[in-house]
Structure 1
Amino acid sequence: MDITVIDTPQLGDRSYLVHDGTVALVVDAQRDIDRVEAEAEKAGVRVTHVAETHIHNDYITGGYVYARKHGAAYLVNAADDVSFERTPITDGETVRVGEMTVKAVATPGHTHHHLSFVVEHGDEQAVFSGGSVLYGSVGRTDLLGREHMVGLTHDQYASARRLAQEAEAKAALYPTHGFGSFCSSGPATGASGSTMGEQLETNHVYTDPDEEHFVTELIANLTAYPNYYVHMGPANAAGPSAPDLSVPESLAPEELRARLEAGEWVVDLRHRVAYSAGHLKGTISFEYGDGSSFTTFLGWVFPYDRQLTLVGSREDVEDAIRDLSRIGIDSPDAALGEDPRQLAPGATVSSYPRVGWKDVLADRPADEPILDVRRADEYEDSHIPGAVNIPLHELLTRMDELPAGRLWVHCGSGYRSGVAASLLERAGRDAVHIDAMFAEAEESGVPLER
């Protein structure tokens, strides 16, 4: 059995191509299936089955399109309410994929109808656990609503034990989540690999003998997750289409100016340092260089009913289009180029201060407030005394709560505060971007409160 990992670090997920040298199974494909197709061609194998461990909440699946395009059986839990034809599979059912045997194991918890797949080939065994058992933890249990959370967390605890009974200790474990995805909960390690036996010894779902304690602790540690998740489940249940990954023709300067004047969503992909030094007023800074932050936070903040325009180099725009397609933001327009003055001659070019912690100590007047745009749990763990906490994903709807005057904005790394500073300027506020690691604040002399 040969297993190819197809990593999507922008979302913290993994897809898998599993084959016997001739015939293959694809597990939890991302929407841009050309990556899977390339790996199958490279391996010289024919994909006959495509499997979903669950109806995903953090990305648009490519499984439906891949199965239709290549005539593969599409394995989806028979209990899932979907609007497309699939090959229904139920708990305990097995299918043959070439010389491999694929067994479905019901592992509810992350979703009600979650399945894991135990694949055997000779004396080899591998477990594809989706959002059930991860490296060090399990998938989060609150995505289907708070009313289901407690029951699903109990299910998650029981499912982990069921999965351990179905698989050998030596079985390699291949989860979909746990590599930065907000679908993870607790202390997921993001390790490169593991076995069921190793997880039995180290994963808190196994090492905690008290189910009630496990449930209480997991729920207490759940943090906010991106707003775009609400769109993913319905899109996946409907059978999503193939994405258009082509780069559109660049907008004419007058059209770009018109969009800025109309207050449309125009996103500048350049590095936040370049953006703060000079940008078209009205644009929003979402630096593409940090791909994982870009996809997550743009998807978290962007209103899905609006048209999106990307501004940046052709390479960045092309990569951003691919990344955004995975979370259902399709067919953005583009203005190609990195010089604001050439992109829209006559439009206002603006800038704002970008500082470090030493500058905050030396230059911030005492009456100018600090705005902390980290999540509430991050703020509660440690924060600057007197700082106002409005998480980035709540900023657009809570602008009226901001204190008057110039705002000094920080986050954990400088990325979210760069986005926030641009949103503040777009709303007519005066902002200073604190582009620094929060972990370095205290050693720089900034007092913290815990």
Structure 2
Amino acid sequence: MFFIDTIEVPGLGNRSYLAGGEATAVAVDPPRDVDRLIAAAARRGVRISHVVETHVHNDYVSGGAELARLTGAAYLVPAAARMTRPHVPVHDGERVEVDPGAGVALRALATPGHTPHHTAYVLEETGRSVAVFTGGSLLIGTVGRPDLVEPRLTRQLARAQHASAHRLAAELPEEAAVLPTHGFGSFCSASRADAAASTIGREKASNAALTRDVDTFVAGLLAGLDDVPAYYAHMGPANAAGAAPVDLTPPAVADAAEIAARLAAGEWVVDLRHRVAFAEGHVAGSFNFEADGQLATYLAWLIPWGRPVTLLAASAGQLAAAQRELVRVGIDRPAAAATGAPADWLGPGERPASFPRATFAELAARRGREPGVVVLDVRRDAERRDGGAVAGSLHIPLHTLHRRLGELPRGEVWVHCAGGMRAAIAASLLDADGREVVAVDDSFDAAVPAGLVVRDGSGA
């Protein structure tokens, strides 16, 4: 009898898997913190005999090579991938016995599109195809984006995604489970998954890659591509070379004097507390990236790569969870850290900084009294294009804001996003720059009911 365990990586919008039989198992697309897969195998009472990568990942640092080293497993990587770390190259059609006693095996299927070398793995039990680990090819209701490798290959890879989806649909039974790595919030996905689980049959009925002709599919896929996180440029090379072992021990403790010194040196001091607590009081000059949001994605996207970072957390548990999130994107060791509250992080006589929060209804009331108030929209281009824009608002996507602060007019800035988290990050950047700021902590869906005029954002 086979089993499949799903290892959620929600901060990055990904999944990894452990699958096998009674004695041995395979780990698929492991995250950097491999202890979770080792623990899952221990709970099952199985040995990890194989570690497989569907592709060289662009959105996170893989733990595949390290997991293989720790467990003695064979490390399988698509043969066409440019992997310099020792590995076993896998070719299209190859079959790997995972647990011979239970009849569990993997069969490799070349599925280029997300990357030129992408490979899916069909999980078989006694020759029957029961599931397919699709990585970044066929996702739930969508596909992996084709524009992360090389701009000149994007259209070609988009067409390859269509062909790969059709290959999977043609070669696998309708009841086979579709188990992708991306699609649950990852920017490697062309769009977000529309369900938690799926099968080949469901995808044949609903996935655009399988219901539209290739030209229509490619045109829609390319038109819907979103911004690419800047840190992605560092992930592929790190994965090709093989990442170093993870160190999740607590960082050096920073007192108030060291926090002040690191801020003065231009380093990033990141406050992980909830945005409400940060707005009410924080160390002046620190930035707010909530630990419970997409911490790794947005901090890695915004911070100048390699810049030292000091973490401020409400508790040791929050700090430890943040460290785990950050190693997944190559931010390996905080320069220092402190836990507690602003009173613990400020020197004698220093007072915490703060800024107000508001709703869209309060913004509408303010604009009624003062029509020229500055409204800053920090959503991504696609969000503004597809969801509309507050009339008269400025648009600077969050991931570009730290480089474009000089473009903002003088005066108080009311900043919003789609729900509040990114507005809080933006507000902290503006506050650290000495600007008067109000963070709109509200859903964008409330803008029109609040009386704000929302116009087509495609030309804004």
**TM-score, normalised relative to structure 2:** 0.94
Match of 2:412 in 1: 406
Aligned residues of 2:255 and 2:338 also touching (Cα < 8 A)? no
User: How far is the alpha carbon of 1:134 from its aligned partner?
Assistant: 0.5
Instruction: Find the partner of 2:246 among 231, 235, 243.
Output: 243
Q: Specify every segment of 5 or more residues in structure 2 that has no aligned partner in the other structure, as ranges.
A: none
Distance in 1 of aligned mates of 2:116 and 2:230: 21
Per-residue CA deviations over 1:174-222 (Å, capped at 9, x if unaligned) read: 1111111111114631x222111111111111011x2111101100001
Instruction: Find the partner of 2:151 among 136, 146, 161.
Output: 146
Instruction: Find the partner of 1:254 among 248, 254, 257.
Output: 257
**Does structure 1 residue 396 correspond to structure 2 residue 424?**
no
User: How far is the alpha carbon of 1:335 from its aligned partner?
Assistant: 3.2
* AA matched with 1:328: G
User: How far is the alpha carbon of 1:23 from its aligned partner?
Assistant: 1.1
**Equivalent residues in 2 for 1:128-147 (5 A)?**
128-147=133-152
Q: Specify every segment of 5 or more residues in structure 1 that has no aligned partner in the other structure, as ranges.
A: none
Distance in 1 of aligned mates of 2:206 and 2:113: 20
Partner SS for 1:139: coil
Match of 1:385 in 2: 391
Partner SS for 2:301: helix
Taking a change above 3 Å as real, the CA distance of residues 394 and 153 of structure 1, as seen in their structure-2 partners, is: same
**Does structure 1 residue 193 correspond to structure 2 residue 168?**
no
* AA matched with 1:335: A
Distance in 2 of aligned mates of 1:297 and 1:83: 29
Identity rate, percent: 46
Comparing 395-404 with 333-342, which one deviates more in the overlay?
333-342
User: How far is the alpha carbon of 1:436 from its aligned partner?
Assistant: 0.9
**Equivalent residues in 2 for 1:345-424 (5 A)?**
345-346=347-348, 347-364=350-367, 365-381=370-386, 382-424=388-430
**Equivalent residues in 2 for 1:48-447 (5 A)?**
48-99=49-100, 100-122=104-126, 123=128, 125-186=130-191, 188-189=193-194, 191-208=195-212, 210-290=213-293, 293-312=294-313, 313-346=315-348, 347-364=350-367, 365-381=370-386, 382-447=388-453
* AA matched with 2:409: P
Comparing 93-102 with 48-57, which one deviates more in the overlay?
93-102
* AA matched with 2:48: V
Partner SS for 1:409: strand
Aligned residues of 1:271 and 1:288 also touching (Cα < 8 A)? yes
* AA matched with 1:216: A
Distance in 2 of aligned mates of 1:124 and 1:107: 17
Per-residue CA deviations over 1:225-273 (Å, capped at 9, x if unaligned) read: 2111111111000011121111123112211111122232000111111
Partner SS for 1:17: strand
Distance in 2 of aligned mates of 1:339 and 1:47: 42
Taking a change above 3 Å as real, the CA distance of residues 349 and 263 of structure 1, as seen in their structure-2 partners, is: farther
Aligned residues of 1:12 and 1:180 also touching (Cα < 8 A)? yes
Partner SS for 1:233: helix
User: How far is the alpha carbon of 1:348 from its aligned partner?
Assistant: 4.8
Per-residue CA deviations over 1:12-65 (Å, capped at 9, x if unaligned) read: 111111111111111100110010000100000011110000000111111100
Distance in 1 of aligned mates of 2:145 and 2:185: 13
Taking a change above 3 Å as real, the CA distance of residues 38 and 182 of structure 1, as seen in their structure-2 partners, is: same
User: How far is the alpha carbon of 1:440 from its aligned partner?
Assistant: 1.1
Partner SS for 1:29: coil
* AA matched with 2:70: K
* AA matched with 1:38: A
Aligned residues of 1:138 and 1:188 also touching (Cα < 8 A)? no
Distance in 2 of aligned mates of 1:165 and 1:124: 13
Per-residue CA deviations over 1:285-306 (Å, capped at 9, x if unaligned) read: 112133xx22221121111220
**Does structure 1 residue 23 correspond to structure 2 residue 27?**
no
User: How far is the alpha carbon of 1:344 from its aligned partner?
Assistant: 2.4
* AA matched with 2:448: E
User: How far is the alpha carbon of 1:113 from its aligned partner?
Assistant: 0.1
Partner SS for 2:130: strand
* AA matched with 2:106: V
Partner SS for 1:394: helix
Please report the RMSD computed on the Cα atoms of aligned residues, expressed in angstroms. 1.3
Taking a change above 3 Å as real, the CA distance of residues 174 and 318 of structure 1, as seen in their structure-2 partners, is: same
